Amino acid sequence: MQTNTYNTMAEALRQALREEMKRDERVILLGEDIGKFGGAYSITKGLLDEFGENRVLDTPISEIAIIGAALGSAISGLRPVVEIQYCDFLTCCMDQIVNQAAKTHLMFGGQMNVPMVIRAPLGVSGSRAAQHSQSLESWFAHIPGLKVVVPSNPYDAKGLLKSAIRDNNPVMFFEHKLLYGSKAPGDVGIQKKSEQSSVMESATDEDYTISLGKASIKKEGSDLTIIATMIMVHRCMDIANEFEKKGINIEIIDPRTIVPLDKNAILNSVKKTGRVLIVTEEYPRCNFASELVAIIVDEAFDYLDAPVKRINIMDTPIPFAPVCEKFVLPNKKRIVNAIEQLLQ
């Protein structure tokens, strides 16, 4: 029997939802235009016809109502998966997520679980401007009670989403818009799989899961460690492959989940290479990259041969103009310059 493969993240996510809905009738979907329209990025396309309107629910245009309904259904015994059209819109329902969903298990003495997943696309994706382009994952990593997932490829996305749905805790599941199936502008081709990397490994129709809290080494190396998330994994892989032609071996680590975090994989790599660059598409202040720096300095300082560097989006709202948008991103020039400084 031939095994089907899913070459885009959109296809892999759709298959994960379909498999979990078949496996467990308690899994339901909620979100704006996820039914007949199939979702803003077509992730839920066809699921309404397959599972019916009692399990694929089109909601009003109200993030507060969507998360409130999901929270109520989760504590009542269902396993809701919510789609928020842009991660920027999570600002409209922060009370429901931060003060309710994240704290319910503790406040009820462990007698009540909140098995819900909140999916949201994030990241710069071509002149969507300041209110539709942010990467806000570190906000939610700050809150005890929430798990935070940041997949970089179809295979990981499917396995991680299935694990998130089966988890009894609220999980924030972020998906970079440029990874759904299109190519990113500039210096990274998302659909091109490097011969030296499994970073774009296709998902399959097999029933597999990937544990939350387990990092992936996308490329092994001995001269420098790069820790990158989501689309920046691909950008850094391309750059690392260029450096390898010069005899410089760069290790690429994809955390895959930032809560829980696989500290051992990160620290072991740091101890091996002695040099670290962190690349994420976040604002620079108080972000996940900063937390990684603190962990490395606290727990692996004696192994460092150079200061830890990080590259993030510049400290400004995301501009609309394409040339300005490209300038503020962690682009190839900035990453290469940082690598060269670390290797001096």
Task: Tell me the C-alpha to C-alpha distance, in Å, between residue 194 and each of 72, 218, 239, 240, 247.
Answer: 44, 11, 11, 11, 17
Which residues are registered as beta bridge partners of 83?
31, 119
Token pair in block for residue 276:
């670290």
Contact call for residues 118 and 79 (beta carbons, < 8 A):
no
Q: Alpha-carbon distance 112 to 168, whole Å?
A: 10
Residue 234 known to be catalytic:
no
Q: Which of 105, 132, 176, 234 is catalytic?
A: 132
Edge-first strand listing for the sheet containing 309-311: 216-219, 250-254, 224-228, 276-279, 309-311
Provide the pairing of β-strand 5-6 with 56-58. unpaired
Contact call for residues 258 and 269 (beta carbons, < 8 A):
no
Give the residue numbers marked as catalytic. 132
